[in-house]
A and B are shown apart, each in its own frame.
Chain A
Amino acid sequence: MCNASPGSWPWHISLRMSNNMHHCAGTLIHPQWVLTAAQCLQRPTEPSAYRVFLGIQNLIASEPSLQIRSVQKVLKEPSGADIALLKLNSPVTINDHVKPVCLPETSLMVGRNAVCFLTAWGKKRGTDTDNRLKDVEFPVLENRICNRPEFLNGSVKNNEFCGGFTFGSIGNCEAEAGGPLVCKDKDRFVQYGVTSWGLDCTQPSKPVFVRIPSFVSWIKNAMAAH
Chain B
Amino acid sequence: KGDILDDYLRTDGVWLLTRNKQVYNTNNEKECAEKCEAERNFNCRAFLFTRKKLQCLTLAENTKMTVTFDSVDVVLYEKKIIHLKNTPMQGWKKTTAEILMGMNVDPGVTQQILLPDLITVTSQSVRARSRTLEKNLQWNACSVMVKTTMENFPEQSLGFSASTGMPKSLICMDLPQNTMHLPVSGLGSQCLSGKGENYRGRIAVTESGKACQPWNTQFPHKHGWIPDRYPCKGLEENYCRNPDGEKRPWCYTINGNVRWEYCAIPHCDGPEQGIADVPVQVPLPEECYQGRGQSYRGTASITASGKKCQAWNSMFPHRHEKTPDRFPDADLRDNYCRNPDGDESPWCFTTDPNVTWEYCNLKRCDDHTQKPAPNDPPATTAQNSDLSTPTTSDCINGNGKDYRGTVAKTARGRTCQEWSSQKPHSHKYFTPVTHPGAGLDKNFCRNPDGDVNGVWCFTTDPEKKWEYCEIPRCSSSEHDCGKVSTRSERAC
Give the complex CA separation of A93 and B480 in angstroms. Answer: 13
A-B CB contact pairs (8 Å), 24 listed = A2-B490, A5-B489, A7-B486, A30-B476, A31-B473, A32-B393, A38-B257, A78-B333, A81-B257, A91-B472, A94-B472, A99-B481, A99-B482, A100-B476, A100-B481, A100-B482, A102-B477, A103-B477, A135-B490, A154-B70, A189-B482, A190-B482, A197-B67, A226-B297
Interface residues of B in 358-407 (CB under 8 A from A): 387, 389, 391, 393-395
A52 at the interface (CB under 8 A from B): no
Q: Which of A69-89 contact B (CB under 8 A)?
A: 73-76, 78, 80-82
Instruction: List chain A residues, Cβ under 8 A from B484.
Output: 7-10, 96, 99, 189
A: contact size bracket? 35 or more
Check: B256 CB closer than 8 A to any chain A CB: yes
Secondary structure at the A interface, as helix, strand, loop or mixed, is loop
> Is B334's CB under 8 angstroms from A78's CB?
yes
| A225 sits at the interface (CB 8 A) | yes
A39 touching B257 in the complex, CB below 8 Å, given contacts A96-B486, A189-B482: yes
B window 459-492: CB within 8 A of A: 472-474, 476-477, 480-492
Report the Cα distance A96→B485, complex, angstroms: 6
Number of A-B contacts (CB under 8 A): 134
Q: Determine if B393 and A80 form an interchain contact, defined as CB atoms under 8 angstroms apart.
A: no
Q: State in angstroms the CA–CA spacing of A75 and B394 once bound together.
A: 18
Query: What DSSP secondary structure best describes chain B's contact surface?
Result: loop
When C-beta atoms are compared, the residue in chain A nearest to B15 turns out to be A199
CB-CB under 8 A from B474, the residues of chain A are 30-32, 91
Q: Choose from B71, B255, B476 the contact partner of A94 (Cβ within 8 Å).
A: B476
Which residues of B in the span 113-165 have a Cβ within 8 Å of any Cβ on A?
none
Option from A1, A94, A199, A225 in Cβ contact (under 8 Å) with B297: A225
Bound Cα distance from A10 to B486, whole angstroms: 10
Q: Which of B17, B69, B488 contacts A8 (CB 8 A)?
A: B488
Binary A-proximity of B348-359 (CB < 8 A = 1, otherwise 0):
000000000000
Any B CB within 8 A of the CB of A45: yes
Whether B25 is near chain A, meaning CB under 8 Å from some CB there, is no
Contacts of B255 in A (CB 8 A): 80
In the complex, are the beta carbons of A155 and B69 less than 8 A apart? yes
Q: Which residues in A have their C-beta under 8 angstroms from that of B477?
A: 29-31, 33, 100, 102-103
Cross-chain contact B481 with A188 (CB below 8 angstroms): yes
| Chain A residues with CB below 8 A from B38, complex form | none
> When A and B form their complex, which 4 residue pairs have the shortest distance between CB atoms, in order from nearest?
A5-B488, A188-B482, A102-B482, A102-B481
- Residue-by-residue, is B39-75 near A (CB-CB < 8 Å gives 1, otherwise 0)? 0000000000000000000000000010101111000
